[in-house]
Structure 1
């Protein structure tokens, strides 16, 4: 069935939920031939009666899965095992489509509604809640040799709170929107690295903390998976850099803190307390400028920089402070 979108009797209307309908109406209801596209990309093209899918049609999911179906009428080549209620599926039974997709579970008025299990020919399996033939509610989708998602669903898309286990990389646990991570979430890689913070359109974006497997930690702002904006980078050896980044590179003024005996974890914790409450009050005396010591030298370290010894009696520790300035990752 093909919708002729330039047919003068057809009208197009967009809805606040992101859906778009092209077809015939009866008052404000879909009625006759029409095509409805949901915000997640799912498409139904076929017959409508009083706003409901009724008759022959074609369903297409974002994954590319398609099947021709018939709502509330005869079965065509599909096979349904169960009872009928006024020609509607209405039982906890099994239905098999001609493309070998299988559903077994609850039905209400001809639609998969309630709890059930859907198995596709590819081996992908969904077990959970359905509503009007959508994956909708709480459920688990298992893709063979790929990933397992357990969480909330809305109209065939991951939306709400859920966890996905990627067999080859790691685990994401957090918020979803239209099938991708969006909002607060935590990703744990198989090598032990962990990110916890904000996500946008499936990417690390906004405020968050990255803890690498080697012991380094970054607490700050991100854009598309890269450090971007202000932040604090704590090295595994205890050094701390407070500054700004642009597209993953140091960019702008920043300050290095070298705690004495910084290999001790207890000292590092004390330093973090000091930084969070006292660093904004610390001033560096420009008259103390000198060349970088050889132990901390890089290819640009021969340039002068400011430093001082920072003491905090309450925490009983001290550290050396160096001010630096970078441009696109290069020391000025």
Structure 2
């Protein structure tokens, strides 16, 4: 019979695990925390996510899935992503902020504001974006050092070149009063 024990371990990678071990392998129920702060709570087998488990992200979102040897195995994206506001991503019936309907989730739930009072962000009041930085949805991005900070200006992650390019071409930028917004200067393009 396998030797099962409960333990709390910190790894050299900066990750940690609290839960069951069998033969010195993570197995059974446990909580695995990545260096980024993302947590997995659920089943483990032979050191991998296995069975029911949920990834909790630092932005407040979560991914619920059935896992098999470390891989999410449900339909669509393998599980269900739930945003911090409670919106569930469903690949086959996704209607939020697509190419046709650009409303924020709060507008889908609560209706549109009167003319002239349109929302500029999902959660009002909008955060003040530091000058020259960008609001990338889960925090502020400083293009000078390519770091994404949460809204309390705590480190979240380093942006790679693809994320950097996406943020500077897509997201709201902190500008001085009266300065034109970068996206307002672009001409509109017709989608094909």
- Normalising by the smaller structure, the TM-score range is 0.3 to 0.5
When the two structures are superposed, what TM-score results if normalisation uses the length of structure 2?
0.46
Larger Rg: 1
Higher RCO (C-alpha under 8 Å, 6+ residues apart): 2
